[in-house]
């Protein structure tokens, strides 16, 4: 194996990027935790396709940790640029001290499949989640949860009733920064797609700069794989 000299060693840390940033809504059942709350999380990811499952990780000390631990349910609300101020604010304040919905002038609405946890009306898309497993890892507990229902703004649906997440301005979290989504670079399967699929799906050519020009099993001159079926759903 080769060795490189232009790389440096960094301390081990959570440098995965970009990651999502979401507003998770929840509500406890009893006592002081029995009220709707929001928590901002970037430690969230997809963990399974069938059943559809996501993970969220929360510090034990958080108010929302108590709420979600008690009820076993929460709603993951996607964040667009309109929600960014509230998203940051909900990430630095505690639901123990303030009503975050009121403080940010946001609206809790009924979430399908949830007993208590509300969805966030202002979010472009909300996933109702039921906790299946909690794993203690150290600073954070990891909640593995099944997505049992999804609601979305009707403005995200196109004429063919397909979900178009590109119609809202989602935000990514990148090592302490909130970053806007930029231009479309390609779609899942573009590297093996036929010219007609490429022409239909890409407003301009996908990134090809680093496509190998000498064959390592393939070359630019190969026939278009006209029968190649790619998975439009983008399941990786």
For the segment 165-194, give every residue that binds its own copies (CB under 8 A). Answer: 165-166, 170-192
- Number of residues counted as binding its own copies (CB under 8 A): 129
Which of 152, 169, 163 has the alpha carbon at shortest distance from 234?
Answer: 163
- At residue 172, φ and ψ (nearest 5 deg) are -105, 160
Residue 39 CB, nearest approach to its own copies (Å): 9
Among 34, 60, 139, 199, binds its own copies (CB under 8 A): 139
Among 30, 160, 204, 234, binds its own copies (CB under 8 A): 234
Residue 73 CB, nearest approach to its own copies (Å): 14
CA distance 141 to 120: 23
Furthest C-alpha separation in the chain: 69
- Quick check: 216 binds its own copies (CB under 8 A)? yes
CA distance 215 to 221: 10
- Quick check: 230 binds its own copies (CB under 8 A)? yes
Residue 48 CB, nearest approach to its own copies (Å): 4
Considering only residues 9 to 68 of the shown chain, the ones binding its own copies according to CB under 8 A are 9-22, 36, 40-55, 57
Which of 126, 125, 144, 80 has the alpha carbon at shortest distance from 117?
Answer: 126
């Amino acid at each position: 194996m080769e060795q490189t000299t232009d790389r440096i060693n960094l301390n081990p840390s959570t440098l995965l990027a970009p990651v999502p940033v979401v507003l998770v809504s929840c509500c406890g059942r009893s006592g002081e935790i029995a009220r709707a709350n929001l928590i901002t999380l970037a430690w969230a990811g997809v963990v399974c396709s069938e059943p559809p499952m996501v993970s969220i990780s929360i510090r034990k000390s958080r108010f929302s940790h108590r709420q979600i631990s008690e009820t076993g349910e929460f709603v993951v609300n996607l964040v667009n640029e309109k929600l960014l101020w509230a998203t940051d604010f909900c990430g630095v304040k505690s639901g123990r001290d303030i009503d975050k919905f009121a403080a940010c002038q946001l609206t809790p609405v009924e979430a399908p499949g949830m007993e208590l946890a509300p969805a966030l009306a202002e979010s472009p898309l909300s996933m109702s989640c039921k906790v299946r497993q909690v794993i203690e890892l150290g600073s954070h507990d990891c909640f593995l949860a099944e997505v049992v229902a999804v609601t979305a703004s009707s403005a995200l649906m196109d004429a063919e009733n397909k979900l178009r997440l590109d119609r809202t301005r989602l935000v990514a979290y990148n090592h302490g920064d909130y970053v806007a989504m930029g231009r479309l670079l390609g779609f899942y399967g573009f590297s093996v797609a036929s010219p007609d699929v490429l022409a239909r799906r890409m407003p301009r050519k996908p990134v090809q700069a680093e496509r190998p020009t000498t064959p390592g099993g393939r070359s630019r001159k190969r026939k278009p794989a006209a029968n190649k079926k790619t998975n439009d759903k983008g399941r990786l």
